[in-house]
Amino acid sequence: MVRLHMQMNLRMSSTDLVILAPYYGELEAGTGMKEEDFYNQKFKCVWLLHGLGGNCNDWVNYTQVETFAEEKNCFVICPSGGAGFYTDGPLGTNWETLIMEDIWNYLHRLFPMMSEEPKDNVIAGLSMGGYGAMKYALSHSGKFGYGCSLSGGLNMPQRYAEGENINGRLQFAFGKPEDVEGGPFDLYQLAKDLKRDGGPIPRIYISCGRKDWEYEPNQQFRDFMREQGYDVTWDEDDYSHEWRMWNLQIKKVLDFGIPGDFCKAVFTRGHVEE
């Protein structure tokens, strides 16, 4: 596994990325697989979004995701998303376009072994990133077969419409409070729209600690999604809004989106067996 740190300067915007990429090393060579065959595979990808106040380094600094990803033999992509809830904010940076179009397209040209198939792509995030991951899973279901929220602020647009504002930041992500509910930032509306339009439907994973202030809103969103007919996996534990919870959960997210030990499957006989 190789860790890369990149700065992307695209469309008058810039952000940093951390990428964990599969690498042909001694273990792989020892199986008899040729280097050319290794890099001609299509690898599964996990996109991880950080929380408010964080950056692209958080997932690799505070969890064991690098170890878990090596076991799965998958790519991990961690973009910095500022404080904009990963939206194309009416008053802020167009984070969604930057990540879902510019970075997505560039990385797939740079690493042609990254699969673009929805069944091979997982989007996940924590807190603010949990909202972003769910928004991308519902808005870009042609890219992601799995959407995963860990302690996500899944009703943040509704709370903003009711007067909550985090240090005056939310208007940059969501615009006018009176325009939020039922619009493109409302996860409840996005879920209904996707079902109505008949697009590809991602599998959903939602987790939250029982001591977390987001616990009840997450339960409410879970119940709503199940009522809408989504396949929802729910997991909880006795934690608050903290990295101990997210380190445990990221292993479960990888197992959810990439079942089994993919590394062993790849190298059992020197070729991919799924």
pLDDT tens, residue by residue, 24-83: 987 777 778 899 999 999 999 999 999 999 999 999 999 999 999 999 999 999 999 999
pLDDT confidence bin for 1, thresholds 50/70/90 = confident
CA distance 185 to 84: 12
Q: Report residue 272 CA to chain centroid gap.
A: 25
Q: Are strands 13-21 and 75-79 parallel, antiparallel or unpaired?
A: antiparallel
**What digits encode the pLDDT tens for the residues 228-259?**
999 999 999 999 999 999 999 999 999 999 98
Give residue 126's pLDDT: 98
The DSSP bridge partners found for residue 232 are 204
Q: Which residues contact 38 (CB under 8 A, 6 or more apart)?
A: 22, 24, 28
Average of pLDDT values for 157-172? 88
Range with lowest mean pLDDT among 100-114, 128-142, 249-263: 249-263
Give residue 25's pLDDT: 83
Give residue 92's pLDDT: 78
pLDDT confidence bin for 265, thresholds 50/70/90 = low
Asked whether the predicted pLDDT for residue 270 surpasses 60, the reply is no
**What angle, rounded to 10 degrees, do the helices at 65-72 and 243-257 form?**
10
Backbone angles phi, psi at 211, to 5 degrees: -95, 5
**What CATH topology corresponds to 2-267?**
Rossmann fold (3.40.50)
Give residue 266's pLDDT: 52
What is the identity of the amino acid at 268? T
Asked whether the predicted pLDDT for residue 179 surpasses 70, the reply is yes
CA distance 92 to 204: 28
Sequence ranges of the domains in the chain: 2-267
Give residue 269's pLDDT: 45
Give residue 253's pLDDT: 98
Q: Are 91 and 171 in contact (CB under 8 A)?
A: yes
pLDDT confidence bin for 261, thresholds 50/70/90 = low
Give residue 89's pLDDT: 87
Q: Are 240 and 126 in contact (CB under 8 A)?
A: no
Rounded (10°) CA dihedral 192, 170, 15, 24: -40
Asked whether the predicted pLDDT for residue 271 surpasses 60, the reply is no
CA distance 175 to 31: 54
| pLDDT top residue among 272 and 51 | 51
Give residue 190's pLDDT: 98
Asked whether the predicted pLDDT for residue 8 surpasses 90, the reply is no
In angstroms, what CA-CA distances link 247 with 11, 63, 85, 217?
A: 34, 5, 21, 21
**What digits encode the pLDDT tens for the residues 133-163?**
999 999 999 999 999 999 999 999 999 999 9
| pLDDT top residue among 271 and 34 | 34
| pLDDT top residue among 222 and 266 | 222
Give residue 272's pLDDT: 45
